[in-house]
Each structure stands twice: as C-alpha cells, then as structure tokens.
Structure 1
Amino acid sequence: MRPLTPANKKLSECARFLEIKIEGDGTVKGISSNSRDLQAGEIFAALPGEKFHGARFASDAASRGSIAILTDAEGSRLIKEAGLNLPILTVDNPRALLGPLASFIYGNPSKAMKIVGVTGTNGKTTTTHLLFQIFRAAGLSAGLIGTVGNQIDGEQFPATHTTPESDELQRIFAVMAERGVQAAAIEVSSHALAQYRVDGTRFATVGFTNLTQDHLDYHGTMENYFAAKSRLFGRDFASQGSIVIDGAFGKKLSEISPFKTKSVSSGKERADWHLSEAIPYEMGYKVSISGPDGISIQGEIPLFGDHNLENALLAISLAHQCGISVHDIKSALPTLRGAPGRLERIDRGQGFIALVDYAHTPDAVRRILSTARNLTKGKVIAVLGCGGDRDSSKRPLMGAALTEGADIPIFTSDNPRSEDPMKIIREMTQGVALSHDARVIVDRREAISEGVRCALEGDVLIVLGKGHETGQEISGTKHPFDDRIVLSELIHS
C-alpha cells in the first residue's frame, strides 16, 4: 500500500534528519525494508536480523532502482564488499530510526489525523474495532490497523502482522492522510514496541487493556513483557491515555505513566470511567456508565462477556479523549459489533449455541469459558489447542483453564508449526486432572466434529484459539482452515 503521490524529499534532507553526512543527492520517493516490495527512487532499509543481515538483499534493491541504503556498520561493510555504488546512510541502530525516518519522508502523516494506539495482552482487537465503529458512527472518516486486517472506512486490506513494520505503517498512515482519514485505531503489540515499529508515530491518545502471561518465549519475564507494553505510554508517543485498572499491571502503569491518564474499571475499582450497572439481555447488556465531570451514559451494548464490557468501556474513554461527544458515543453503543473471530456466533439453525473465539492465553480462555457458562444451563463443550514454536510455559495453564471451564474439554492441534502436535497436547495436560468426559483428538477438524456430536439442545460449543485465522500451519506448510467455516459445515452436515 502506497500513497498515490510519491514522497518528495531530498536525500540530503534525510541525511540531515539522521544527523549524518552523505555523498550525493537525489529525490527520495519512499522507503522500504522489503527489497521485493521496493520501488524505484526509494531508500532500502537493510536491517540486521536474527538469521541474516538485510544487506544481503541490497543488490536486489539496487536492481529495482533504490536511491540509497539505510543500514548499520556491518551492513555498510557487506554492501561495499558487494561492490554496490549506492549512497549509504550508516547509523548505529537503523531499526530504531526507520520509523522516524519513514514518518519524515512521508510528511509526518500521523499528525494529520487522530491516531489511537491500544496495547495489552487481550482485548486489543475488539477495543480497536469498537473504537473504529464509534468514529464512523460519529461521522468521521476512519482507519483501522490490526490482527484481523486493515481498513479505511469500508475498504479492507490484508494484514501481515498485528502491527506492521515501521516503514509499512508510515506508508499506511500516508495513504490514510491522502484519503482524508480523520481518526484511526491501531493495535500495538509488545513485539512492535520492542522492535520500534511505532516509533515516529504521534498518537492522540493511547490505551491499555490488561497484561497476562503470553509471549514469554520472546520477552523472557513478565517484567520485560510489561516494560515493552508500557513503552507506548511515553512522551515520545502521546500526552494522554486511558488504562483499565482492574489488574495489577494496569494499576502499576497508571502510577508510572509520565502523563495524565483516565482510569477505566468494569469492576469494583474507583475509576474515571466506571461500569455502574450491567444487566444481561438476549443480545448483550443494558448498561449504566459513569464518566468524568458527571458524565452518565445509559444504553445497550450488544456484546456478550464481561471482558467485552471492559473493552467497550476503554473504547468509550479513548473516543471521548479524541473529542467524540457523549451524545455520539451513546448513539453508537447499540450499533456496535464484535471483531471477526471474537465470540463469533455460527448459526445454522441448530439447537445449541456455537461460537468461535481467538482466545489463546490462559486468562482469555478462562474469561471466554466463563462467558459461555453464563449463556447456558446446559453443558459447555470447548475445543482448544496451543500453538507450536511459541511460549510453551503457558501450555499447562491453558489446559487447566480448559478443564476447569468446560464440561467436555477437547484437546486438539492449533498451529503446531514445526512441533509434534501430540507433544504439545501432552504439555497442555501435564498436571491436569482429566475427567472421563475429556477428549484428546489431534486432528482439529475431527475434534470440532466431536464437539458438534456432543452438543445437545441448549448447550454451548465453543472452538478456541484461532478465531479469524484462515489457515493451519503444519510442518512449514499453511493449509486452508477456518474454524468458522469448518464449524458451520459440520453443523450443517
């Protein structure tokens, strides 16, 4: 995705921005860290990687018309050894400077609109989707960037990461600015913050949902994980924010934030935005919400689950910080819909409730199964696996959450990737007392089929872990697999 009008910066201007000297000049039309995606006149960002250096692709970038290369000392050495005659912008940490440089090249597009960044373990996707809907209901042209995909108003674009690489992100913002987008909501992952992907972005406000165990294979400890998440609450990014304080990490973040934040609570905590009452009805909840300065909102939120009330409350606070009126927020509430693959209902006229959800952390599984329990007086049947080549320490916690929350827990594969699926399941069931109703079925389609077979009138069947995903990765190959389609087909058959 690129703006229709190319960037128009001088290479010498880019060098001055980086506070370095460079020989030669020319017009810079953009910047890309992907040599295969690079267009003539763009700077190629050759970044150091875990397995190899991006400078290895400098020849490919040169053949595509790159005007210069941004890299570090090692990359500069490799480029010179390859005999390439291109200007080199050599800096100590090109990854950290890629976002700010891309923002400079594309004219600081994040300052042309109100951008809201949301971070946290669970709830980012739903919160940003709700915020996007509130923006549009208020009459704004709006953008959305996240796990499920990217949107500009009603037009959708595929996503490769929860948060795009920094050069791609600034290009998306440039396209949004070119199209007159007034407000945008973006999911900001811990990986993105650790890898500087949102550096160079100015946010109107930032939000924090919660922090529970996930990604420890990458961050190592919960303290490191929290440090990565809390980086979004820095003065380089924003000057205000909203924080859900129902968890210990939310409270801690509200205490250490360098700027003022609005507190959000759907529980017993005293907060700026507080859920005073939530009465379940057939489509969701009838709510009473109290806000700062005597704000009071009564209305209907057509979403299931206490966690979604929390997400909605955070979206309301963030929207209000962006200048959306209380009247417009209240008017939007009954029109809100959940994100794809988040408690998504599959209805083929069956007598039981069938749901698909992305829950893939112990806390999310517990919350979702608690929601499922409140939807039925019958049984809760749940299908769950754990991803391969990812944080293995959470597997027994996931297994425990599944067996505690479901009457019929069905252990299966998720995306096993390079791992043995049965090994993953054994780790999920380690130390877990399995009832006689528990099942272990490695094949995911067969596991879902067993769930359908077990479900009777009034029960709830929920398939967890993959949500909106349309493929299953096994031994390096991504096979077509969409839980929603598979579940629908099996119910129908």
Structure 2
Amino acid sequence: MIRPLGTSSQTLAHVADFLAQDLDPSQRNIEVTGVCSDSRNIQNGDLFLAFPGEKRHGMEFIDQAIAKGARAVISDFEGVQKSPRKLPSIKVENHQDLPVSLTDWFYGFPSKSMNLFGITGTNGKTTTTYLLSEIYKLAGRKSGIIGTVAIDIAGEQIPAKNTTPTGDEIISILARMRESAVTNVAIEVSSHALTQSRVSGLKFSAVGFTNLTQDHLDYHGNMENYFQAKRSLFTTKYSGNAYINIDNDFGRRLAGEVDIPYQKLSLKGHADWNLTILNETGMKKEIRIFGPKGLIIESKTSLIGEFNFENLLLAISIAIESGVDAETVSRSIPELSGAPGRLQLIVNEPYHAFVDYAHTPDAVSRVLAAVRGVNARRIIGVLGCGGDRDRTKRSAMGSALNSGSDLPIFTSDNPRSESPEKILEDMVAGVKLKEGAELIIDRRSAIRRAVEIAKPGDLIIVLGKGHEAGQEILGKIEPFDDRIELLEAIGIK
C-alpha cells in the first residue's frame, strides 16, 4: 500500500468526533497513525476499517490486523459485535463513503488540493489517463495517474495491483502525491470500483466516458447492469462536468440520460469536440481538432487507430477545459506516446511488431483494423483468453482474431485455474478457421512461431496482456512479458 512519506496521527477522540460517534472515555487519548482497510497492509498504529465485502466481512481478518499492529477498528454493528474486547472499536451505520471521507480527513484533505479526473469505459481508460497526464507534464504541471499499469507520482512509477484501489488507498496515494506537489491526477474508474463503492466520496473535477463493449459479464451478469455501473459515475455525487465519446451506442445513450453538464466528443458526427484526419503518411498523421467557441487545433501524431484518436480527443478536451491553453496542447500532441503495452511498437524492421492489451472482442477487432492501416503485407496475430473470466466473450474474441489477421495464432493468456486446452476450445468454437491458422497452447512458443513465419513487410501483433509482466497459471504468477518475449524471439530468429 502506498502511503505518504510524512507522519500523521489523530486521537480516537478526534476520529469519533469526525464520525459523530460515541467512544469509551478511557480510549479517547489513544493515537492512530494511519488508516487501512486491508489487513495484509496494516502497519503498527493503524486504524483498521472492517466492513462487509462481496464475499467476506472485514472483521474476519481482525486477528491478522491486530498481529500487524492495528490500534483500533471501525466497523458496522455486525463487525463490532465480533471485535475483540481488548481492541478499541467505533461503530458506524453508513460506511459507503467512509473509507474516502475518513482517510481524506485524516491526512488533511489531499483530494481537495488537486484536480481529479475520472475516466471510465471498457477500453481506452489507461491510454486516456496517460495521454492526459503527458499533456499536463508537457504544460509544466506536475501530474499523477492511478490505474491499471502503475501509480505514477510526478514521474515515479509504482506497479499497480488493481485498476482502481480501495477508497482509503486512493486517498493515501493522493496524500503521497501532494508531497510531490502534484496538482492534476487522472484516475481509471472501473465498473467493479463503482459497484463496490471504492470511489464513493471522491469528487472529480471532470469525468470522461470512452466506450462500452462486452466484458466483465461474469461479474455484472448482463450489459444493462454493466452500463448502469458505468453510468453511476456521471452523477452529481461524483462530478459536475462530463465528457462523453458518442461514437458508440452506449455513449449516445449516456449523453441522453446524464443529469450533469456534459460535452459530446466524436470523430464522425456533430459534437462539441471533433477530430479529423487531414493527411496520412505512413505512421504519421496530420489532424485537426474542433472545439467549443470556434477553437481549432492542428497538429501531427504517430498514434495509430481510430480508438486512439477517440482517446486523444477525450484527453485534449479535458486538458483544455481544465486550463491548458490550445497552443501548448498543439505543441504537445506530436510528443504523446500513450500507455505502455497499448499498441506499443517493439520493432519496425524488417517487419513491424506490436504488443497490445486488447482483451475484449471489440478491442481485438479495432486494434487489428488499426494495424491494417500500416499497410503491412500480412498480419500475424497472437491471442489468448484469460481463465476464470467472462467465458461468453471467448468465441467472439477468437472470431475477431481470425477475421482480422491473415495468419491467426490462438494461444494461452492467463489460464489461472482453468485448462488452457478448454479455453482454446472455447475460442475457436463456431469459428471457421482460416488456412494457416494455428493453435499453440504455450504462449512463448506461439510468439516464437509468429516470428519464425514473419517475412519482411509483415506485421506481428501479440494481443491480450500488454504491459503485464507475469502469467498466472494455477495460482502462481510466473515472469512473462510479451514485449521481452517478442524481442528475445526476434533475437533467436
């Protein structure tokens, strides 16, 4: 867990007063020095937040929290009844916003000292947050990122464990960012985080929507539930400003239902913000952006793919509306590279080789369509599907790989507890495989096979894992980075 470097402390009396709750008079002078909801991350002196989870109650882990040095606990009625008598406890009834609100108060309200921007959607969250952060950096503003790839604190990269951390950890990260004088923070907001109230209590200067396509149906059950989870971010509870990409059905629906001020973004139709490609030479493109009040920006970019232009437009609109001047944005655009593992170019000669994180049917289709624009002789695509995740998307992903690649190679991703052979069966079920398609269970062997058959002018793209540095098999994560594997395979050839 990332914590501020400086020390903080509060007495339980102050904590109880903040929560407007009663406290045993004998416990009022006890000091706590941190706030944490994960018993594994407790440090000596911490205040442990023990609330009901989706499967287990936090109080089930109280012994571990005490062993690590928890000095007091806050819980609901059920939890307090189970709390050891020796541990000071405070009972609360409404705890949805508490991890954020209490931790924010504890550390002196770091969330109030910076601009927070929440980005949600199935695909594009990571790239958009990176583009937005890059613009701020190039504008001379210290920025941060909380997301899938890493926690970025003014350039310091710390590996991330979840797309969106728990509320208390988000605030702890913001407190650390404040120490580094960060003023703008881009936060990926996942549907899981919204459903589980991880960002409940945060106030965003603006929120942005990228798109919504099939994913996480193992968790949400259906697309309507998935949409409603995303939609919940676009309310006065979280923000008073929204930026919505309307080049997808759910974006158009969201724009029609949202009850906060919003601006529409599009590459295709009438909107508050538009982006047009003026000229294209190889991997270089000249673009023109139209914004409110007659704003026009012209620049050049090496970003590839329609979806990346959607991400770019979202980042630019938020940056300009938050005070970055158009001239600075125009100068910044050629320098923007996006996120690690997102259409990341590994080699350019004698063939192109890319790595991308695409792991939904729509993302696979759009990425393969994007690299088709590079005018390669043949596209060799390598893709697997994750185990213990939404099984309903596997055949659609397999179909997307088969139709979008000239030579598709089906392989493993993170099989987790599932049989890799069974996952491959699901991927090709109902798919009429192209001549030359291959099924290679071992991912390393699949990548090497792609390199082996590649000829000058071809394009290899390894999909699904992107920035990930490990492969999860039967509960163990073994070192595995598609980028490194691809480079080593090219060296072997």
Structure-2 change in CA distance of 1:390 and 1:278 (3 Å): farther
Q: CA deviation at 1:50?
A: 4.4
Q: Please tell me whether the aligned partners of residues 412 and 440 of structure 1 are also in contact (alpha carbons under 8 angstroms).
A: yes
Match of 2:463 in 1: 464
State the shift of 1:203 in Å. Answer: 1.1
2:243 match = 242
Secondary structure in 2 matching 1:31: strand
Counterpart code for 1:413:
S
What secondary structure, in the 3-state scheme, does the structure 2 residue paired with 1:346 have? strand
SS at match of 2:39: coil
Distance 2:21 2:289 in 1: 53
How much has 1:206 moved relative to structure 2?
Answer: 0.9
Gap change, CA 1:278 and 1:118, over 3 Å in 2 = farther
Say whether 1:31 aligns with 2:35. Answer: yes
Task: Return the alpha-carbon distance in structure 2 between the equivalents of residues 285 and 20 of structure 1.
Answer: 60
Deviation at 1:278, TM superposition (A): 4.0
Equivalent residue, structure 1, for 2:60: 56
Asked whether the 8 Å contact 1:241–1:262 carries over to 2, the reply is: yes
CA-to-partner distance for each residue in 1:46-102, whole Å, 9 max, x for gaps?
A: 2333453321322332344323212223322222xxx44222222345454222222
What is residue 71 of structure 1 aligned with on the other side? 75
1:382 is paired with a residue whose SS is: strand
> Which AA in structure 1 matches 2:35?
I
> 1:200 and 1:104, CA in 2 relative to 1: closer, same or farther beyond 3 A?
farther
Task: Give 1:158's aligned residue.
Answer: 159
Mean Cα displacement is larger for which, 7-16 or 405-414?
A: 7-16
Partner residue of 1:339? 339
Q: How does 1:263-342 map to 2 (within 5 A)?
A: 263-267=264-268, 269-342=269-342
Q: Write the distance in 2 (CA, Å) between the matches of 1:353 and 1:256.
A: 43
How has the CA–CA distance of structure 1 residues 151 and 377 changed in structure 2, closer, same or farther, with 3 Å as cutoff?
A: closer
C-alpha contact (below 8 Å) 2:409/2:438 kept by paired residues: yes
Runs of at least 4 residues off by over 6 Å: none
* Paired position in structure 2 for 1:441: 440
RMSD in angstroms over aligned alpha carbons? 1.6
**What is the CA distance between 1:261 and its match in structure 2?**
0.9
Structure 1 partner of 2:398 = 399
Partner of 2:173: 172
CA distance in 2, matches of 1:260, 1:50: 33
State TM-score, norm by structure 1.
Answer: 0.95
**2:487, 2:376 → 1: CA distance?**
23
Quick check: 1:70–1:94 contact (8 Å CA) kept in 2? no
Match of 2:148 in 1: 147
Contact 2:211-2:245 at 8 Å conserved across structures: yes
Native 8 Å contact 1:130 1:338 kept in 2: yes
Aligned residue runs from structure 1 range 3-152, under 5 A: 3-23=4-24, 24-25=27-28, 26-79=30-83, 83-92=84-93, 94=95, 96-152=97-153
Aligned partners of 1:336 and 1:169: how far apart in 2?
26
Residue 182 of structure 1 deviates from its aligned partner by: 1.1
Question: Which letter maps to 1:442?
Answer: I
1: distance between equivalents of 2:92 and 2:214? 35
- The SS at the match of 2:41 is coil
| Corresponding position of 1:375 | 374
Q: Is the contact between residue 395 and residue 428 of structure 1 (CA under 8 Å) also seen in structure 2?
A: yes
Cα distance in 2, alignment partners of residues 322 and 150 from structure 1: 22
In the alignment of these two chains, the number of paired residues is 488
8 Å Cα contact 1:45/1:94 also seen in 2: no
Check conservation: 1:103, 1:201, Cα contact below 8 A: no
State the alpha-carbon separation in 2 of the partners of residues 449 and 236 from structure 1: 50
Instruction: Tell me the amino acid that sits aligned with residue 463 of structure 1.
Output: V
Partners of 1:380 and 1:56 in 2: how far apart? Answer: 52
2:71 counterpart letter in structure 1: I
Q: Counterpart of 2:386 in structure 1: which amino acid?
A: G
Cα distance in 1, alignment partners of residues 54 and 194 from structure 2: 17
